[in-house]
Amino acid sequence: MVGITSFGAYVPRLRLQRKAIVDAHVWADPGLAGKARGERSMCNWDEDSVTMGVEAARACLNSREAAPGGIYFASTSPPFADRQNAGIVAGALGLPEDMASVDITASQKAGTGALLQAIGAVSGGLYEEALVVASDKRLTKAASPGELAYGDGAAAMTIGSTNTLVDFLAAHSATVDFIDHFRGSGEDFDYSWEERWIRDEGLAKIVPPVIARALEKAGLQPGDVQHFVMASTIGRAVEGIARHSGISGDAVRDNLASVMGEAGTAQPMIMLLHALETSVRPGDNILVVSFGQGCDALVLRATERLADFASACGVVNALANRQEEANYQKFLAFNNLITLEKGMRAEKDDFKTALTVTYRKRDMLTGLIGGKCTQCGTLQFPRADICVNPQCRAQDTQEPHPFREEKASVLTWSADYLTYTADPPSHYGMITFANGGRFMTDFTDVNVGDIDVGMDVRMVFRIKSIDSLRGFVRYFWKACVVRPD
């Protein structure tokens, strides 16, 4: 049977305290006072939907050799409107180039849409296995409801037909141009209509028939659903749909609003994975629903294998890796929502990115692939014609070697207050890989005082710099301190 064979999740480490947001705006909107509860996940300045998707997918694939036949990337906040975002993710994962890639976007149900497409492709024999990644970092206006309600995050799962953790039973969808919100092409922010209308005229009328039809296709009664996964920022709306559909109120899953907020197209998948990790038992039926100019409803059933499965990093671990952020100004700065004096050094223009070089060196820049000298065995980054080992110097002997998962530690470091970074001071230094190889790199997700010589680091795919003049995002790998669990 086709189903989910592995999964992983990512939630950015920073958790903006909602109180910090409310404190900034309550002068203008006293009604916010009651919303100063919990926290929302918040990307570091160098994270976006692609980098989060890479981390979730890394956890899902967990360094295995076998590559999926296709990758589906779902997001309404992809960094590129015309450049295959899924292809960037695939490159960072070091997946082979002979695979299919698709971006699915423009609706909040793009995540379940990608999942359905992957299930269909595997069921139909198009690929043996597909990778689905959903990731969102939605930009919101300061003081908007979304600023409080949303969070950033990503989820990834592989779809296959053997060794499934969760089997796909049935699905049903509806396509209705119900415009609860929209974002025109080239616009930064959503424009939303009244919540009561969305709840009563949209959710309550469009979703239940789809659920009923999906359950019917699966041969299940509403009472058979043990876990009902549906995200909505509208209070009590999901409970109402459950009641209306005959699903037990106990089945309604926590939408994680208090600990991370709603991560757009990734949220149904994040909630599903959270359920799989925390409460789903083999044999349980799961209903996953998402809403966005229509509705998708998927009916799934956990297999015996789920009990023995542990993700390399699931939602539970991702949520546990957190650092409270009480400085709302930092959120505004990271999201370019405030006009900051960044100093003349920020004007530095590395000129346009030479796309010829980006392509020629794509395995190095996106996949962190260096070289291994077949003569002396020395690992080195970057790969070069002549071996870096002064005792070797062999020519044309290097085979590609990925450094993404190599163990590394700090050799030298500094915290630099002079050079421009969106999050000063800029931490960078030389890292050495335990099996050989080294390079000078940026440290990310780091606080002053965190770094010292000898500390273990792991490599993460992040934004290197943003060419705002031309709208280009450069990615590369940075080092992140390995924190004890």
Partner 1 sequence: MASGIKDKVAILGMGCSRFGERWDCGGEELMVEAFTEAIADAGIDVSEIDAAWFSTHFEDINVGKGGLPLSISLRLPNIAVTRVENFCASGSEAFRGAVYAVASGACDIALAVGVEKLKDTGYGGLPAGGGGTLNPQWAANGSAPGNFAQLASAYRAKHGVDRDDLKRAIGHISVKSHANGAKNPKAHLRKEITEEQVLNAPMIAEPLGLFDCCGVSDGAAAAIVTTPEIAKRLGRSNIVSVKALQLALSNGSEAGHNSWDGSYFHTTRIAAGKAYKEAGIDKPRDQVSMFECHDCFSITELVTMEDLQLSPEGGAIKDVMDGFYDADGQIPCQIDGGLKCFGHPIGASGIRMLYEMYLQLQGRAGERQLSNPSIGMTHNLGGSPMSNVAAVCIIGAYD
Asked whether position 175 contacts partner 1 by CB under 8 A, the answer is no
Tokens 């930092």 belong to residue = 330
379-380, strands of its sheet edge to edge: 379-380, 369-373, 398-402
Phi-psi region of 219 (alpha: psi -120 to 50; beta: other; left: phi over 0): left
Residues 37-66 that bind partner 1 (CB under 8 A): none
Q: Which lies closer to partner 1 via its Cβ, residue 74 or residue 364?
A: 364
**How does 155-178 read in b/e, with b if 16+ C-beta sit within 10 Å?**
bbbbbbbeebbbebbbbbbbeeeb
Candidates 127, 460, 476, 481; binder of partner 1 (CB under 8 A) is 476
- Candidate ranges 111-119, 198-206, 299-307, 357-365; the one touching partner 1 (CB under 8 A): 357-365
Q: Are 164 and 5 in contact (CB under 8 A)?
A: yes
CA 451 – CA 483 distance, rounded (Å): 11
Asked whether position 395 contacts partner 1 by CB under 8 A, the answer is no
Q: Which residue, among 7, 71, 64, has the nearest Cα to 315 in the 3D structure?
A: 7
Asked whether position 389 contacts partner 1 by CB under 8 A, the answer is yes
Beta strand pairing call for 14-17 and 323-325: parallel
For residue 384, give the 3-state DSSP assignment: coil
Count CB neighbours of 18 within 10 A.
Answer: 22
Residue ranges of the alpha helices (H) in 145-279? 145-149, 195-197, 204-218, 237-245, 267-278
CA 453 – CA 475 distance, rounded (Å): 26
Q: Considering the complex, what minimum distance in angstroms separates the CB of residue 428 from partner 1?
A: 4
For residue 42, give the 3-state DSSP assignment: strand
Q: Considering the complex, what minimum distance in angstroms separates the CB of residue 463 from partner 1?
A: 12
239 to 192, 236, 254, 340: CA distances (angstroms): 22, 5, 11, 43
Count CB neighbours of 307 within 10 A.
Answer: 11
Q: Considering the complex, what minimum distance in angstroms separates the CB of residue 436 from partner 1?
A: 6
Q: Which lies closer to partner 1 via its Cβ, residue 22 or residue 379?
A: 379
Q: Which lies closer to partner 1 via its Cβ, residue 119 or residue 365?
A: 365
Q: Which lies closer to partner 1 via its Cβ, residue 135 or residue 421?
A: 421
Asked whether position 409 contacts partner 1 by CB under 8 A, the answer is no
Q: Considering the complex, what minimum distance in angstroms separates the CB of residue 370 from partner 1?
A: 9
Asked whether position 196 contacts partner 1 by CB under 8 A, the answer is no
- Candidate ranges 219-227, 288-296, 341-349, 397-405; the one touching partner 1 (CB under 8 A): 341-349
Both structure tokens of 312: 């390399």
Asked whether position 425 contacts partner 1 by CB under 8 A, the answer is yes
Q: Which lies closer to partner 1 via its Cβ, residue 48 or residue 442?
A: 442
Q: Considering the complex, what minimum distance in angstroms separates the CB of residue 124 from partner 1?
A: 39
Both structure tokens of 48: 């976006």
Asked whether position 472 contacts partner 1 by CB under 8 A, the answer is no
- Candidate ranges 32-40, 227-235, 397-405, 430-438; the one touching partner 1 (CB under 8 A): 430-438
Asked whether position 415 contacts partner 1 by CB under 8 A, the answer is yes
Asked whether position 481 contacts partner 1 by CB under 8 A, the answer is no
Q: Which lies closer to partner 1 via its Cβ, residue 193 or residue 439?
A: 439
Candidates 432, 450, 458, 466; binder of partner 1 (CB under 8 A) is 432
Candidates 265, 380, 398, 444; binder of partner 1 (CB under 8 A) is 380
465 exposure class (CB count in 10 Å sphere: 0-12, 13-18, 19+): middle
Q: Considering the complex, what minimum distance in angstroms separates the CB of residue 366 from partner 1?
A: 10
Q: Which lies closer to partner 1 via its Cβ, residue 210 or residue 373?
A: 373
Both structure tokens of 304: 């015996």
Both structure tokens of 153: 């995050």
Asked whether position 109 contacts partner 1 by CB under 8 A, the answer is no
CA 164 – CA 5 distance, rounded (Å): 4
- Candidate ranges 176-184, 191-199, 200-208, 427-435; the one touching partner 1 (CB under 8 A): 427-435
Candidates 80, 189, 193, 420; binder of partner 1 (CB under 8 A) is 420
Q: Are 463 and 475 in contact (CB under 8 A)?
A: yes
Q: Are 178 and 17 in contact (CB under 8 A)?
A: no
Asked whether position 310 contacts partner 1 by CB under 8 A, the answer is no
Report the half-sphere exposure of 484 (CA within 13 A, side-chain side): 1
The letter for the amino acid at 18 is R
Candidates 161, 321, 335, 358; binder of partner 1 (CB under 8 A) is 358
Chain residues binding partner 1 by CB under 8 A are: 343-345, 348, 350-351, 353-354, 356-358, 361, 364-365, 378, 380-382, 384, 388-390, 411-421, 425-426, 428-430, 432-433, 436-442, 452-454, 464-465, 474, 476
